[in-house]
Amino acid sequence: MSPPAEGALSVFGQLWNPAKAYSALLSRSSAIWSVISSCLVILAISTIPVLAAPVRLDAVLSMPGGSSLPVAALPLISLAERLMLAGLGGAAVWAVAKAAGRRTGLVLCLQAALLAQPVYVAASVGSGLVLDAFGAPPGASPGPAALLGTPAAGAPILAALAWLLLSMFDLPSILCLSFWGLGIASLERRPASSGMATTFSLYVLAILLLALPVLSGPPG
């Protein structure tokens, strides 16, 4: 298989062979096509709910804290969001690798983080359409927090933090972190569990940093 084809198909190949898919990033020509393919797949999948469930999207956007941008702009917003998160996540993995004495390059870490993003988008859109078919309320996510409900006002800080952690560990996030961790492990020739431990640990750390203002605030 030619390097461009190998790179373009790595987005899909990671679903059954992450090690081989992420190895495409080691070649510059295939890595470029992997990045292009990842961005195009994110845009394509993000367009599905715009076409299939525009009413649900309007309801989500009209919720408190929702966006005032038109529904048609959501694929571009999704791509921008995934690029930003891939940049932050890739830089964090690179920093951890450097601190551990591993010579994984920054560009490689960024590319690996981006390659995992279509998994999140696909799982998010797919689960959203399933929830919509079963009549779930707008904004519902496939995760354990959906079974617990939103904490009541004045709930203990630890209870609110536990709910936040559970709400962030939905199905799309777990799948994305898993494939990303498997990819990192294969690139750095580490056990799969070690790579997944890196991505999940960084994710928990990011959640705790986001929750820091709540934890450091006054009681109640």
Q: What is the largest CA-CA distance in the chain?
A: 60
**Is 114 a member of any domain?**
yes
Q: Is residue 22 scored above 60 in pLDDT?
A: yes
Lowest mean pLDDT among 44-48, 100-104, 126-130, 158-162: 158-162
Higher pLDDT, 90 or 217: 90
Phi, psi of 142 (to 5 degrees): -80, 85
pLDDT digits (tens, 9 = 90+) for 83-109: 999 999 999 999 999 999 998 999 999
**Is 13 a member of any domain?**
yes
pLDDT at position 154 is 61
Print the domain residue range for 34.
3-215
By three-state DSSP, how is residue 153 classified?
Answer: coil
Q: Taking each helix axis as running N to C, give the angle between helix 74-99 and helix 106-133, from 0 to 180 degrees, rounded to the nearest 10.
A: 140
C-beta of residue 52 within 8 angstroms of C-beta of residue 59 = no
Higher pLDDT, 74 or 56: 74
**Is 220 a member of any domain?**
no
If you search the block for the tokens 């987005």, which residue do you land on?
11
Region of 135 please: left (phi>0), alpha (psi -120 to 50) or beta: left
C-beta of residue 138 within 8 angstroms of C-beta of residue 60 = yes
Provide the domain count of the chain: 1
pTM of the model: 0.85
Average pLDDT of the chain?
A: 84
**Is 130 a member of any domain?**
yes
Higher pLDDT, 122 or 164: 122
Residue 169 CA to residue 158 CA, distance in Å, equals: 17
**Is 187 a member of any domain?**
yes
Higher pLDDT, 173 or 161: 173
